[in-house]
Amino acid sequence: MIATIQYNSRKLQIDLAKPQDISIPIKEHPTVSAWYVDPPKIEPVVMDDKWVGLVSEGAAVNFNNVWFNPHAHGTHTECAGHITETVYSINKHLKEFFFLAELITVAPEKKGDDFMISKKQIQFALGNKKRDAVIIRTLPNTKEKKSRQYSNTNPTYLQEEAAIYLKEKGIKHLLVDMPSVDKERDNGELLAHHAFWDTKGELRLDATITELIYVPNAVKDGEYMLNLQIASFENDAVPSKPVLYKIIE
């Protein structure tokens, strides 16, 4: 099914029949995990030590409790409330859900024990393109990302200068396949987060960061229409489901 979208001065055609989901779902083992917390739990409700919320146990419905941390378990989207004293809710500040996006693939640069994404790499990949969102796929790109245990592994992160560049270029939505845009242990500096949301200037409450995505190798670099779907929680971060649609020229 082909849909035509008027986007600024362009008429874009997208194939709605071929969505590419780049999210990692929240589920029990094996699952991706970060930030030193226990894995998510999905368990049936038990009442009075008798009633169990499972059809297989005689209940009329399956009725589960779910325990998870949005920052640690699966794909999530966060707003500036993640790092500000005022805890802003992304559900109140993300009001549009379709964005023109560019998917780029980057081989992180090694410096000491760290792997980093630099401003120069992003500049080279984006050039003069005008986009609302940038999706960064890092190399190597294996399916192991969907179940990796990131705690205490010093994952790839974004240099502060790269985050400043994205902000200055007008990128409102940044999506990455790492657990954070910042270094795992940085004494709480969170330089890339602060730079992207401009916490020392005009706070960008309409800008988002989405972490722990997974973009299959079959999805080629280039321009896409991004549908950034979020769960309706009043919190600084929520589970999310970013979906890409190829633009047909």
Domain residue limits, the chain: 2-31+70-248
Q: How confident is the model at residue 172 (pLDDT cuts 50, 70, 90)?
A: very high
- The fold adopted by the segment(s) 2-31+70-248 is Glucose Oxidase; domain 1 (3.50.30)
Sign of CA dihedral 74, 178, 184, 164: negative
State how far the alpha carbon of 200 is from the alpha carbons of 43, 62, 87, 88, in Å. Answer: 43, 48, 16, 16
State how far the alpha carbon of 110 is from the alpha carbons of 122, 194, 248, in Å. Answer: 16, 23, 37
Range 197-215 average pLDDT: 97
Query: Which of 132 and 10 is assigned the larger pLDDT?
Result: 132
pLDDT digits (tens, 9 = 90+) for 85-95: 999 999 999 99
**pTM, full prediction:** 0.96
